[in-house]
Chains A and B, each alone.
Chain A
């Protein structure tokens, strides 16, 4: 359906309640009255022609007089996108109907909006704060947030937490007990905290508690220039640092309609794929270690060091690169770049079979990962589990194919897909992607055109008024950047739709009924980076 036909259809559904947004916007956008939202959302999801089954992004925003919620919907079948914008009538006790009954993944996103803006979602199953502790005063992302919250050092008692009280109540059976997992635990890959109820050895419910590394990046961005913001983004998902940088730069470039020189696009694409390889290598390490295979660590870190050397020679940094800037890249390539990348590809190709011999074929490993934590295609879409984890459930969600940026449209590559949806499939999919990435790099490395490595940009970038959305494929999935600009040198609102956050929402669903040891395998296979979840 064309954008216009889509808009007409929606306007006809709820006349008087919906209006087309005149603002500059990447996607067709509609303004919806708050009371008509739920019905319209249901219609859009269930109608065959619209079929919006993927809730791409759900963000809150403070418009001054009132608060708003913005929904980015996408149809996996038709590929079209629609933005719904709604507003609360006032800001003292703002409420909006939940849509978590339609898209399960919305549950977490709505809790985030509640935490940051104080909008209550009626009929939401679990309306609690998600990042900040229950005692936190004020809602940080509101523009008038001034509350001072002193540092508390006393540890909270378990039952002071509303969520844990909820878990504990209504459980009458003797065998049920609640255990705490994290935030300091070697298998959580950072500071994730899970509160788990167990029936014997079987997992009943899992309640993720986030916010132990919530750094308030979105709020900080509202007081930083676009060049400065780039440096914060790589600290979110530090394993895909380069790709995160790009997301913001691409969004700014899209808004300014800057033509990025071809050379820069090639460089960015190659660096993207190198980052992806490095990230998947680290996944291999940590996943192997989670399941008790310590040797993996030494093998993949050795190869990863080669990539880091290339990064270091190119831009001076190993991990958080900040090599991209709006308009291109910061510096030109080092003369050694091509040679070293080619050496690396040769080396990596030689090593990959060794990796498979070490881990993939191992009987114990297979026993612990096959048919564990199965995620169906339908649930993957509904939760918004993108990236390798989504593709392992048979969902074609690779942004590099769906919404190609840079030179991905000119590269010949196959989107890796598996359909089993279990832990083993998620693992193997990442191994497949290693090869895909090497192929992509190989196609590009000899073709890098000469020319400028960055377009000329003004030292102070003012993004024209409007709302822009940009998606990129990080090593963890679909990273979305939603930028609202009012023509200033700072963004009015910058929202990161982080892949890990949606994936985490699926974890309780995946673990239900499995053994506690499988929980480690499942959460390992989802490849979390916690600062990416918490931002």
Chain B
């Protein structure tokens, strides 16, 4: 049933009179809302940008305000992979494997110029020029290194993206299929 089907207010009024609180939403929205606010990131940092992730978790910027503080060491328990740092040829298979091990739904944030394009090391013989060659990316956060504030902004963009996506096949509109 879609929210627009509530043309008739009688049902709502009856519920109201019996003392029930009514919130109108779809299950899909509810699930997306929940997902967006409890992202569990994978602990994965290869270099300098990883230090700024640590800083983002400290008292000043405190990313637990946004529900992303439960850092997991195992990809099987994580929904979000923040790729912080340079990815080199030797690391690329590992990155792909970690991504494959994460359970759906999963999201990837490319943090820092290195993850986006190879950054300062773009010309090197051993550096991957952007992780989108390996795994799909949801949000790119530029910076070298990315400031903690920028990381928060980037992750909030991801949350927005999750909130507007249809999280259940039931809720999918015809044209999205």
Q: Which A residues have a C-beta under 8 Å from some C-beta of B?
A: 131-133, 140, 145, 149, 151-156, 183-186, 190-191, 211-217, 219-220, 223, 231-232, 235, 238-239, 282, 285, 297-298, 301-302, 304-305, 308, 318-320, 530-531
Expressed in whole angstroms, the Cα–Cα distance for A530 and B88 within the complex equals 13
Q: How far is the CB of A304 from chain B (nearest CB, A)?
A: 8
Q: A216-B127, A232-B120 are contacts. A531–B54 as well, Cβ < 8 Å? A: no
Q: Which B residues have a C-beta under 8 Å from some C-beta of A?
A: 43-48, 50-52, 54-55, 57-60, 73, 75, 85-86, 88-94, 96-98, 120-121, 123-128, 133-134, 144-145, 147
Q: A133-B90, A320-B48 are contacts. A298–B121 as well, Cβ < 8 Å? A: no
Expressed in whole angstroms, the Cα–Cα distance for A441 and B86 within the complex equals 34
Which of the listed residues A151, A190, A231, A232 has the most CB atoms from chain B within 10 Å of its own CB?
A151
- A-B contact list, 7 entries, CB within 8 Å: A151-B92, A151-B128, A153-B96, A153-B134, A220-B123, A301-B58, A308-B55
Q: A186-B43, A190-B46, A213-B91 are contacts. A219–B124 as well, Cβ < 8 Å? A: yes
Q: A156-B93, A297-B58 are contacts. A239–B124 as well, Cβ < 8 Å? A: no
Q: Are A319 and B124 in contact (CB under 8 A)?
A: no
Q: Are A215 and B126 in contact (CB under 8 A)?
A: yes
Expressed in whole angstroms, the Cα–Cα distance for A36 and B170 within the complex equals 79
Expressed in whole angstroms, the Cα–Cα distance for A132 and B90 within the complex equals 7
Residue of B nearest to A228 (CB): B120
The 8 Å CB contact of A145, one of B51, B88, B125, is B125
Q: How far is the CB of B52 from chain A (nearest CB, A)?
A: 6
Q: Are A238 and B48 in contact (CB under 8 A)?
A: yes
Q: Are A239 and B96 in contact (CB under 8 A)?
A: no
The 8 Å CB contact of A238, one of B43, B47, B73, is B47
Q: How far is the CB of B113 from chain A (nearest CB, A)?
A: 11
Main secondary structure of the interface of A (DSSP, over half): loop
Q: Are A319 and B92 in contact (CB under 8 A)?
A: no
Q: Are A235 and B120 in contact (CB under 8 A)?
A: yes
Expressed in whole angstroms, the Cα–Cα distance for A216 and B118 within the complex equals 12
Expressed in whole angstroms, the Cα–Cα distance for A183 and B43 within the complex equals 12
Q: A191-B46, A212-B46 are contacts. A301–B94 as well, Cβ < 8 Å? A: no
Q: A219-B124, A302-B60 are contacts. A190–B88 as well, Cβ < 8 Å? A: no
Expressed in whole angstroms, the Cα–Cα distance for A152 and B95 within the complex equals 12
Q: How far is the CB of B49 from chain A (nearest CB, A)?
A: 9
Q: Are A216 and B94 in contact (CB under 8 A)?
A: no
Q: Are A213 and B121 in contact (CB under 8 A)?
A: no
Q: Are B48 and A531 in contact (CB under 8 A)?
A: yes
Q: Which residues of A contact B128 (CB under 8 A)?
A: 151
Q: Which residues of B contact A318 (CB under 8 A)?
A: 52, 55, 145, 147
* New A-B pairs, 14, CB < 8 Å, besides A190-B50, A213-B85, A220-B123: A140-B125, A153-B93, A155-B96, A156-B93, A184-B75, A184-B94, A215-B86, A215-B126, A216-B121, A238-B47, A282-B54, A297-B57, A301-B60, A530-B46
Expressed in whole angstroms, the Cα–Cα distance for A135 and B98 within the complex equals 22
